[in-house]
């Protein structure tokens, strides 16, 4: 395992600004999500919004990734490449986005419903959000990484879902992926002790079917092996005493979604 960079209060505030900008970007994109729109169009909107706000896309060019958004619909778990295919009524689409602002990354994901989706898929999204909420509760001084993973895994598996294991959350700061890795499974009381000033991107990836995944030939897109839908939500969180400090926000996204109903 590499070095863990603990963040000063000033650095945490800068990461907060980056993280909040990602939430605002996804809220801007949310206005356009409807049947018939392509993920490439959403990607263009996201990139323009990020640059208009004085930041640069964090994913574009990262490891050779060609776009601003990871756009992963239905059975795609993560790392989908935006394309010209129109979204369809009943799809779900995970949009994962990063920015670099003032030298620090923000990294946030949200899974959107396109029109009316099947009830079991809607429930998967709600339950994945709850996994994230429970994980964040564990991101406090004195707990361990296994407590975060256990919070996600125990809730998801109690509902009969598959928890993706090969992909994990991560530390966040001047780099997009820092140590430690933050798995969505684990045992209580196991793993690295959490200390004040760690910043973690916590991101449950939960499948309606089994946990098995495969990578497509594009070298990026990860899909469920059984081709059932997957959901993905992500927040950036600073480990603190007593209560985690959530640096990112889904509130602006959810305001837009409410206004469209």
Cα gap 177→171, rounded to integer Å: 6
pTM of the model: 0.97
* 37-58 tens-digit pLDDT: 999 999 999 999 999 999 999 9
Q: How many CB atoms lie within 10 A of CB 181?
A: 17
The edge-to-edge listing of strands for the beta sheet with 169-171 is 178-182, 169-171, 199-202, 235-238, 245-246
3-state secondary structure 71-95: EEECCEEECCCCCCCECCCCCEEEE
pLDDT score for 238 = 98
User: Residues 181, 166: contact at Cβ < 8 Å?
Assistant: no
pLDDT score for 261 = 81
* 80-133 tens-digit pLDDT: 999 999 999 999 999 999 999 999 999 999 999 999 999 999 999 999 999 999
Q: Is the pLDDT of residue 207 over 70?
A: yes
Q: Is the pLDDT of residue 209 over 90?
A: yes
pLDDT score for 225 = 98
Strands 235-238 and 69-73: unpaired
Which whole-number Å values give the CA distances from 164 to 66, 131, 152, in the listed order? 24, 13, 11
* 132-173 tens-digit pLDDT: 999 999 999 999 999 999 999 999 999 999 999 999 999 999
pLDDT score for 1 = 67
Which whole-number Å values give the CA distances from 135 to 6, 121, 239, 255, in the listed order? 20, 21, 12, 23
Q: Is the pLDDT of residue 13 over 90?
A: yes
* Region 9-260: CATH code: 3.90.230.10
Task: For residue 2, name the pLDDT band (cuts at 50, 70, 90).
Answer: confident
Q: How many CB atoms lie within 10 A of CB 216?
A: 13
Q: Is the pLDDT of residue 7 over 70?
A: yes
* 54-81 tens-digit pLDDT: 999 999 999 999 999 999 999 999 999 9
Q: Where are the domains of the chain?
A: 9-260
What 3-state class would DSSP assign to 220? coil
């Amino acid at each position: 395992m590499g070095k863990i960079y603990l963040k000063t209060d000033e650095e945490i505030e800068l990461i907060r600004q980056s993280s909040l900008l990602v939430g605002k970007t996804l809220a801007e994109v949310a206005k356009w999500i409807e049947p018939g729109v392509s993920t490439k169009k959403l990607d263009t909107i996201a990139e323009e919004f990020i640059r208009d706000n004085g930041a640069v896309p964090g994913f574009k060019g990262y490891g050779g990734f060609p776009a601003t958004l990871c756009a992963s619909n239905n059975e795609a778990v993560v790392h989908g490449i935006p394309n010209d295919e129109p979204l369809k009524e009943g799809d779900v689409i995970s949009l994962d986005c990063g920015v670099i602002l003032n030298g620090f990354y923000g990294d946030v994901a949200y899974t959107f419903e396109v029109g009316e989706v099947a009830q079991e898929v809607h429930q998967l999204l709600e339950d994945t959000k709850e996994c994230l909420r429970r994980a964040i509760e564990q991101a406090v001084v004195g707990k361990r990484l296994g407590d975060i993973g256990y919070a996600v895994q125990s809730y998801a598996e109690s509902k009969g879902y598959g928890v993706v294991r090969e992909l994990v959350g991560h530390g966040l700061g001047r780099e997009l992926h820092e140590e430690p890795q933050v798995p969505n499974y684990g045992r209580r009381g196991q793993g690295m002790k959490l200390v004040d000033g760690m910043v973690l991107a916590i991101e449950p990836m939960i499948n309606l079917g089994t946990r098995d995944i495969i990578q497509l030939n594009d070298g990026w897109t990860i899909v469920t092996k059984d081709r059932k839908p997957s959901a993905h939500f992500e927040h950036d969180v600073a480990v603190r005493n007593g209560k985690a400090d959530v640096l990112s926000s889904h509130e602006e996204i959810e305001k837009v979604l409410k206004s469209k109903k």
